Structure 1
Amino acid sequence: MFGRKKIVTMKPIKKLPHGTVRHELHIKIKDGVNKGDILHAVKCPPGQNINDWVAVNCFDLFNEINLTYSSITALCTTTRCPVMNAGPKMEYIWIENNKSVKLSAPEYCEKLFTWVQNCFDDTSIFPAEFTSKPPKQFAETVRKIFKRLFRVYAHMFYNHMEHLEQLGIQGITLRGFKHFYAFCRQYKMLGKEDVVPLHSLVEDLDKEFGFKSL
């Protein structure tokens, strides 16, 4: 019914050991978001290492979009979504070994989630503990992660909003995106060209959060 070939994209959730600073930050973020104060929830607490804060938020926001996308994998197939896009005018190409590769949406998401998980597991990028200076690749890698994860939200909103509604998770997904977008704007993870597919939605969020338009 939905196309025979699907790709399982669910990746292991990035878990933070109990009792660690990062786990405490994870709880703080979760509590803030659950209370509905998203802008406060994305701001780094006073005295906290900003790089640890960014890393934990990166883990959490990846886990959230990973779970959301996993709920529609039976509906996002190579047959139904032969191109990774966000509407007819926005197509995303995977870059690997300096080569552009055109992929179906599930193939793109599979590669993306695997790449993100590999970045998290690489201690030369995401060390177990940050010193005064982060690794050279950290900031660039984090921005690239958020730019690419934005594309998954854009694809889902353009191609699977009806499916999210049918599954009863449209509201949860939109709240997850608000959290994702607020963090990205707070820490300058996205540029104007990145948000084009969801321009009207992010304009509304900019007004709600008090951000200047990109």
Structure 2
Amino acid sequence: MSFGGFIDFFQKGKTFRPKKKFSPGTLRYSLYKQAQASLSSGINLRTAVQLPVGEDLYDWIAVHESCPTMSGGPKFEYLWADKEKYKKPTQLPAPQYVSLLMDWIENQINNENLFPVSTDVPFPKSFLPLCKKILTRLFRVFVHVYIHHFDRIVSIGAEPHVNTCYKHFYYFITEFDLVISKELEPLMEMTTKICHDVIQN
């Protein structure tokens, strides 16, 4: 996964490919449609990662593959563990970490034992802790992208779109206390600037 892969993370409809279908007329279908509508604004960034005129292909690829670790600056490094292939927390290049994360999340949300489709089936006790884990790991992608790729985001004109995605995500996780405050630390200064109503402790 290149920087373009990170950009796809923020692109409408490109993050996950849930296989489940919610029945029209149900509460979960209504909530699903509302969530989709809230993410419907923004630009298509696929063309933004294409080779610029006059640029060397190898140079262009090289600048997109420069993340040997999944980090959020010098104080934060994120290790991957999935209890299957990576049983112990393992250092991985950022593109590999993000790719594994997206696959892992897709598997979780498509597992109807974890994310039931029918309103007749109750959510398991593990549902909220799992959601917190998913959202914490997704927040780490924001951290990495903002800290290590912000110049690229600005250069392709994606800053407003990525900021909007971040604000939506941030407001959601803080509204329901889904990510612990320690995880939010790497972006707190930026968050205070772009989310004007953030109250600092």
Scaled by the length of structure 1, the TM-score of the pair is 0.68
| Displacement of 1:207 | 4.7
Rg larger in structure: 2
Q: Following the alignment from structure 2 to structure 1, what is the Cα–Cα distance between the partners of residues 25 and 32?
A: 10
| Displacement of 1:76 | 4.2
Q: Following the alignment from structure 1 to structure 2, what is the Cα–Cα distance between the partners of residues 129 and 17?
A: 8
Percent sequence identity over matched residues?
24
Preserved CA contact (<8 Å) 1:84 1:108? yes
Aligned length: 175
What secondary structure, in the 3-state scheme, does the structure 2 residue paired with 1:92 have?
coil
- Which residue in the other structure is 1:91 paired with? 77
| Displacement of 1:12 | 4.8
Preserved CA contact (<8 Å) 1:206 1:212? no
1:192 partnered with 2:181: yes
1:191–1:213 Cα change, 3 Å: farther
1:19 partnered with 2:24: yes
1:18–1:162 Cα change, 3 Å: farther
Greater Cα shift, 84-93 or 173-182: 84-93
| Displacement of 1:130 | 3.6
Q: Gaps (5+ residues) in structure 2? A: 9-14, 50-60
| Displacement of 1:199 | 1.4
- Which residue in the other structure is 1:102 paired with? 91
- Which residue in the other structure is 1:111 paired with? 100
| Displacement of 1:8 | 8.7
Preserved CA contact (<8 Å) 1:76 1:106? no
| Displacement of 1:166 | 2.1
Preserved CA contact (<8 Å) 1:68 1:173? no
Corresponding letter in the other structure for 2:175: Q
Deviations 1:94-115 (Å, cap 9, x if unpaired)?
1233411100000100110010
Deviations 1:139-172 (Å, cap 9, x if unpaired)?
1110000000000011000111111122221110
Deviations 1:62-99 (Å, cap 9, x if unpaired)?
xx9xx989x76x6542xx00000111221111123341
1:174–1:25 Cα change, 3 Å: same
Preserved CA contact (<8 Å) 2:167 2:195? no
Q: Following the alignment from structure 2 to structure 1, what is the Cα–Cα distance between the partners of residues 141 and 156?
A: 18
Q: Following the alignment from structure 1 to structure 2, what is the Cα–Cα distance between the partners of residues 8 and 129?
A: 35
| Displacement of 1:32 | 5.4
Preserved CA contact (<8 Å) 1:7 1:107? no
Preserved CA contact (<8 Å) 1:6 1:76? yes
Which among 103, 109, 121 is matched to residue 120 of structure 1? 109
Q: Gaps (5+ residues) in structure 1? A: 36-63
What secondary structure, in the 3-state scheme, does the structure 1 residue paired with 2:89 have?
strand
Greater Cα shift, 167-176 or 12-21: 12-21
1:168–1:8 Cα change, 3 Å: closer
Preserved CA contact (<8 Å) 1:86 1:154? yes
